[in-house]
Structures are given as C-alpha cells and as structure tokens.
Structure 1
Amino acid sequence: MILKQATTEQAPIAMDLLKETAAWLRDQGSTQWSDVLNGEDKHGITQAVINGDVYFYYDENEQIVGMAAAWSKASAWDQNLWKNVEVQENVRYIHRVIIRPPFRGLEYGKQLLDALKAEFKGKVTALRLDCLSSNRKLIAFYKRNEFEHVKSTNDPQETKFELFTYSYKK
C-alpha cells in the first residue's frame, strides 16, 4: 500500500473518485457532495490537485483504493469552523477522505489515515478534520484512529459539525 501525491494530470481522476463517492452517498440516502454529480467542483478538488494537496492511496496492484485532500492552507470553510479554536499555523486540513466502494470494510480507511499521519510527521504539528455531527459511524472511526474530538460547531447554515485533530508528539 502506498500514498502518492496526485499529479496535475490526475485531476480528472480525483473528480471521478469524488463523483463515485457522491453517487454511493446518494444511494445511501445522503445528499452530501451531491453537487459533484452535476459536474460542479465547489469543493475545489481540481485546484487542490494543482496545489499538490491531494493524495491517492494505492493497493499492491497499483489500483487506486482511496483519496484524501490535505489542504496546506485553511480554506474559508476551515477558517469558519475552526475560528474559536487555538490558532495553529503549521497544520494540514484533511478533506474528501474517500475509500472507493469496492474497497470499503477492508481496513483501508485506517490505513489511509495512518499513511497521511506518516506523510506529514515532522512536517506539521497537527492534522485537522471535520464531519457532520449526524455521522456517528465516522465520528467513532476518527476517534478509533487517534483523532481527538476538539469541539462541536455550526457552519453558516447552522448545520452541526464535529472537529477533530491529530497532534504529533514533540
């Protein structure tokens, strides 16, 4: 298993993975990421690839199993959610953590998070991420994988989110 930074040429693949996951979420009854099914890139994944902030996770057959974005700069979204939390300059904001549907339930999610932790060890002080408060399964997953719950907060539409951080030991 290997984590590789996506190349600019792979931006369409990142969008395809986002669409695949949005379709899966839709089939589960969720509207999360539904805008990508209409071809919108409001999540900025293409720009994130260009910025060098997207990573693909490959299996031993060099097949893409998953993807994650690790923003080097806080987006407007991150700034809003994390505004009442201690400012840390040297962090990565993790978004679009995806394990492709055929690979779910095989521990690849844990492995992807472990690979991200290893990738940024010694480079940043922490990894930050958020998820919907209603997604109890994802909250439990992050806690099992050593992400500390920081707080609950609301986005501008008053949707409740949970904030998590993984801090590197000094």
Structure 2
Amino acid sequence: MTLTIRPAEDQDEFEIAMGLLTQRIQWLRDRGSDQWATWERWRTKLGPSLSAGDIWILWDDDEPIGTVTLEMTGDPDFWTPEELAEPAAYVSKLAVRLDRAGQELGALLLAWAGDYAFQRGCRYVRLDAWKTNEQLHAYYLSRGWTHLRTSTDPQRRSGALFQRTAAPMGKQPVELRTAASRQG
C-alpha cells in the first residue's frame, strides 16, 4: 500500500473528488444530518479551486480513497480581517471513502494539510465545521484543534471555527508523497 496525495488535474479527477464527497453526503443524510446541505452549488463554486490546484485526492496506489480542498484564503464571512491577514491555509470538503473509514485517513489528510501549510510559511491551518455537528467538533478538539468561536450568522449553517498550528507531519506509518507538480 502506497498512499499518495496530489492535486486533481482535470475534470475526470474533479468528478472523482465529487464522487467521494457525494458518497459521504449520502452517508450523512442516512443518519439524519443536514451537513453540507449546500453541496449542489459546489460544482460551480469549486471550478476555481480545481483550476488553482486546491482540490487534492488521496490515492492508495491507483484507487482514490479521499479528498480535501486546501486554500490559502479564508471565507471573510467567518474569519476576521486580522485572521485573514495571518498566513494560514483553510481546509474544506474533506471526505474519505466509506469502505476506508476507521483507518485514520481523515487524520492523515489533516496532518498533511498542516504540513503543506507549514512548508508554505503558514502559521495556522484552519477550518469551519457544520455548527450542529457536535460529534465532529469533539473529533477536532481531540485531535489538537482549538475552537475559536461559532458564527452567529443565521444565513450560514457552517461556522464552528477551528485552527491549529501548522507543523511538519513527522514520520508516518505509510509513505505519503505529494506530487512534485505542486511544489512551491
């Protein structure tokens, strides 16, 4: 097993990422969650992220098993001007294939995001989580994230804001390589 993470490079790989997200959204719906209720708009909104190389896919050899979007700009609806001025990377749309759940691949993607941010001079890696998903909030807290605040904007369902210090990954139990095409 060789795990590799690299940016989605074309429309076919964008569809792979969307498929992974759609699978997880259905899983959430089956459990009564409204998390990611705005996902129908993602195709349009994620076009620039694809072009910028911000959508990443985790591969196990030639099998796609996870995805994450990592951008260098945050949502001004959530983050203060002071926070947006700090060097930070922003995680969103993280999903792991259901048959690979429980293998700590989400934690691995988050560690990779922290390493990626660190390598680019960022002080923090940040994310906003669905406001009502307390189980997810507890997961982030147990993984060393700090809850900063929760947005009170009634128009936004997401907005539980978390951050942690960007840091190198250290030694991993599996080889995790970032595609050389995305260096710098």
The normalised TM-score by structure 2 is: 0.76
Following TM superposition, the consecutive aligned residue runs of length 4 or more in structure 1 with deviations greater than 4 angstroms are none
Change (3 A) 1:141 1:62: farther
| Higher RCO (C-alpha 8 Å, min separation 6) | 2
**1:41 lines up with 2:38 in the alignment:** no
Change (3 A) 1:30 1:53: same
The equivalent position to 1:96 in structure 2, one of 93, 98, 101, is 93
> 1:44-83 maps to which residues of 2 (within 5 A)?
44-59=45-60, 61-74=61-74, 78-83=75-80
The equivalent position to 1:24 in structure 2, one of 7, 27, 41, is 27
What RMSD in Å do the two structures reach over aligned CA positions? 2.3
Count of aligned pairs: 163
Structure 1 residues without counterparts, runs of 5 or longer: none
- CA drift at 1:67: 0.7
> 1:115-126 maps to which residues of 2 (within 5 A)?
115-123=112-120, 124-126=122-124
The normalised TM-score by structure 1 is: 0.82
Change (3 A) 1:54 1:158: closer
SS at match of 2:23: helix
Change (3 A) 1:160 1:31: closer
Structure 2 residues without counterparts, runs of 5 or longer: 168-184
Please tell me the residue identity of whatever aligns with 2:146.
E
Cα deviation, 1:84-121, whole Å, max 9, x if unaligned, reads 76343421111101112111122111111112222222
Identity of aligned residues (%): 26
Please tell me the residue identity of whatever aligns with 2:21.
L
> 1:99-114 maps to which residues of 2 (within 5 A)?
99-114=96-111
Please tell me the residue identity of whatever aligns with 1:68.
V
SS at match of 2:91: strand
